[in-house]
Structure 1
Amino acid sequence: MIDGVEQRERAPGRALVEAGELVAGSMARGAAGLLFDPAPARVRLDAGLAAWLRRTADAADTEPPSPASTRGRCRAGAALAFATELSVTRAAQGRTVRTDAYLLPGPGERAPADEVGEAVLLAARATAEEWRVRHLGYLLAEAAVSPDLDPAVVHRGLRLATGLTGRQWVLLAAVGRRERVPLPMTPVPQDPRGWTAWGALEDLAELQRDGLLDPPPATPRPGGAALPRLRPADLRLTRRGVLVHRLLALDFVRDRAVADALADLAG
């Protein structure tokens, strides 16, 4: 017990990342080791990126523990573990950490990345759908290797993402992989009777109205002519949709989840 207290005092953020094991599995402990004790690890993270993730973990682990925040704390730790996991993958793919001012502290000793990190961990703490934590963590890693995305665009992408339902994330994932896994040609029901199909259709219509998917919702024609029937195969990501899909690394959404969402939409 004394050793645990000493370790927490020495590296408060490490305990946070390790707590993510409840959500992220045993990978969380490996990620904590890579961030806080990298010497034994077979892989390495960019020094600046690792320092930022440690700084983010330390800052997020300063609040006093309470029973109400225990699960949220685990989700925050898991998000950092997932960020570490994808950072290793992106490095292996040859994606280098951005060299602009994104990771560099500015006024108030805060870097733009610190603000993004805080916003992501707040979102991770708040979500009850814990599978989403994985993709929130991925946003941290993806933004760190995307110099074409300035901090304001990253914040915009996060705001768009957190305003969507989990099934909307999965529908974006489905459309994003349409070149590899063709979408159904059968038209979606226009007035489904079941609640599941109705909810899925509402999710899809909101994505269209909010400008994340094309085509936009069909508008009534003069004279009451029948509206064209929308097929999943007709859907395309808009630029907004591409931003959310890219930042959340929705390519990693599980195939089973995509199949279930499309089945919901079919009614």
Structure 2
Amino acid sequence: MTAAEEPAEQPAVGTPSAGRALIEAGTPVAGSMSQAAAGVVFEPATARVQVDERFVAVLRTAAEDAAGISVGRERVRAGAALAFAVEYAATAHRAGRPVRIDRYFTPRPGSRPAAEALTEAVVAAARRSTDERRVRHLGYLLAEVAVSPDLDAELVGRALRLTDGLSWRQLALLAAVGRRDRISLPMAPLDDEPRAWTAWGAREDVAELQRAGLLDPPPAQPRPGGAALPRLRPADLRLTRRGVLLHRLLVLEVLRDEAVAAALGDLGLPRS
């Protein structure tokens, strides 16, 4: 038999595809759930967890496209984001939230589906997110959009760009304000120039969220004649419509209670 006639070498049985290996690489951030998520994406017929096949196909494409990431922790974060997307998609499925049936998963004229473009953007955001606590909620964003026909791709892209500039503590502060009906926010007024550096940094985080239009009231403006400005109390804060959008997309409702408590504690105020 000549070399030209020899059969092509077949991949070893049980060898995971490069895309599957990428999702499994997310274990340091997403834990053992990464293994199960990889099974859902690459062996959906045998998976115990049910996720819509259109969403699974998008995640599979994203994993295969990103499989060549060579930077260690970037690879971990990319895989973890896709694993978390599977986790929340399964939760939405169990809750009876169907995947959208509009054109979100359909190729656009001269372009790929919006679902694929957004998934690539989220994977890129996860790779940049050196604070890896944010990766869970980036993955959740993908699954939330997949069941939210009222959110178009342009709107979600705008929200994702805004999210890219927010720290973990700022996300926790948004989560705190979003669950004000379940927890008591501090009634004491915030000092505009606290002496402790941690409190000063947390106060700056609040001010940035106000300036970004994510929290009401907006920053107080100087009054004529130099009259004293009203002191802001955390209990007075409310999510703006823009803040509500980020809270929903990132599923901050489930951000861990201890992270919320830590962010409020950084403000250096007594709890009411």
TM range (shorter): over 0.9
1:252 corresponds in structure 2 to: 254
Q: Secondary structure at the match of 2:180?
A: coil
Alpha-carbon shift at residue 161 of structure 1 (Å): 0.5
1:37 corresponds in structure 2 to: 43
Q: Structure 1 CA distance, aligned partners of 2:105 and 2:61?
A: 11
Tell me which of 42, 58, 64 is aligned to 1:58.
64
- Alignment deviations for residues 119-173 of structure 1 (CA, whole Å, 9 cap, x no partner): 1101101111001000111111011111000000010110110111221111101
Q: Structure 2 CA distance, aligned partners of 1:17 and 1:110?
A: 22
* Number of equivalenced pairs: 260
1:124 corresponds in structure 2 to: 126
Tell me which of 223, 229, 232 is aligned to 2:231.
229
Q: Secondary structure at the match of 1:39?
A: helix
The structure that has the greater radius of gyration is 2
Task: Calculate the TM-score normalised by the size of structure 2.
Answer: 0.91
8 Å contact kept, 1:189–1:266: no
1:203 corresponds in structure 2 to: 205
8 Å contact kept, 1:13–1:59: yes
Tell me which of 87, 94, 97 is aligned to 2:96.
94
Tell me which of 7, 10, 27 is aligned to 2:15.
7
Alpha-carbon shift at residue 42 of structure 1 (Å): 2.4
In the superposition, relative to structure 1, how do residues 245 and 264 fare at CA in structure 2: closer, same or farther (>3 Å)? same
For structure 2, the 5+ residue unaligned runs are: 1-9
Q: Secondary structure at the match of 1:105?
A: coil
Counterpart amino acid of 1:7?
A: T
In the superposition, relative to structure 1, how do residues 256 and 4 fare at CA in structure 2: closer, same or farther (>3 Å)? farther
Tell me which of 166, 178, 188 is aligned to 1:164.
166
Alpha-carbon shift at residue 41 of structure 1 (Å): 2.5
In the superposition, relative to structure 1, how do residues 160 and 5 fare at CA in structure 2: closer, same or farther (>3 Å)? farther
Matches within 5 A, 1:67-146: 69-108=71-110, 110-146=112-148
Q: Structure 2 CA distance, aligned partners of 1:21 and 1:244?
A: 26
Q: Secondary structure at the match of 2:184?
A: coil
Counterpart amino acid of 1:162?
A: D
Identity over aligned pairs, percent: 62
Q: Structure 2 CA distance, aligned partners of 1:160 and 1:147?
A: 21
Residue 20 in structure 1 maps to residue 26 in structure 2:
yes
Residue 219 in structure 1 maps to residue 225 in structure 2:
no
Q: Structure 1 CA distance, aligned partners of 2:200 and 2:159?
A: 27
For structure 1, the 5+ residue unaligned runs are: none
Alpha-carbon shift at residue 52 of structure 1 (Å): 1.3
Task: Calculate the TM-score normalised by the size of structure 1.
Answer: 0.93
Q: Structure 1 CA distance, aligned partners of 2:26 and 2:12?
A: 16
Alpha-carbon shift at residue 109 of structure 1 (Å): 5.5
